[in-house]
Amino acid sequence: MLEGRWKLVILFHLFGGKLLRFSELERAIPGVSQKMLIQQLRQLESDGIVRRIVHHQVPPKVEYGLTDWGQSLCPALDVLLTWADQQGEHRV
């Protein structure tokens, strides 16, 4: 479910209950194409990790956030980040 180059990056940007529009995610993740970001968000949504919130207004507004299940991944990914930081220190 979390394989791929961008899924973890997307999750890190949505942690803490943040709701971000597609354009905000796109700006926050340099190097990701629109097509890839859309594909990754759709996969995360179909896996029940990310929710897509459509606000019916003009102009249309769509936001992305983590589901409760997606938010429950935070502690595990925090540990992974800590481990990655420690590995970087050992390589220097």
Sequence ranges of the domains in the chain = 7-91
pLDDT at 17: 86
How far is the CA of 91 from the CAs of 65, 84, 86, in angstroms?
Answer: 35, 11, 9
For the domain spanning 7-91, the CATH number is: 1.10.10.10
Per-residue pLDDT band at 86 (split at 50, 70, 90): confident
Q: What tens digit of pLDDT does each residue of 24-80 get?
A: 999 999 999 999 999 999 999 999 999 999 999 988 899 999 999 999 988 888 888
* Entry pTM: 0.82
